[in-house]
Amino acid sequence: AQSVAQPEDQVNVAEGNPLTVKCTYSVSGNPYLFWYVQYPNRGLQFLLKYITGDNLVKGSYGFEAEFNKSQTSFHLKKPSALVSDSALYFCVMDSNYQLIWGAGTKLIIKP
């Protein structure tokens, strides 16, 4: 069965430290993978996508994600966290034009 898992409900990081939000997936074939962000009381915004090619994908607001086929992971990373990065992050996989969403990880950046 195709699925996306975000194993952490919440991630706490001090401002200025690197952050990682984890995502693993299960699919037959090659996945298309996305990260979306939802800021408090606002709609969803696209961050970045992996379709093919370079395993390191760069996106908006200084975020990047690393695609690892052997570990079936697509972790979201940022070298130096900002308080303004605090939000809800979703990992998403495309499967035949239907998007399969992870449950979301709440990222809290403390000053």
> Which positions touch another protein (CB under 8 A)?
9, 32, 34, 36, 42-46, 49, 51, 90, 92, 94, 97-99, 101-104
Residues 104 and 92 sit within 8 Å (Cβ to Cβ): no
Q: Least CB distance from residue 104 to another protein, whole Å?
A: 5
**Closest CB to another protein among residues 15, 94:** 94
Q: Least CB distance from residue 13 to another protein, whole Å?
A: 21
Rounded Cα distance between 44 and 90, Å, is 9
Q: Least CB distance from residue 4 to another protein, whole Å?
A: 8
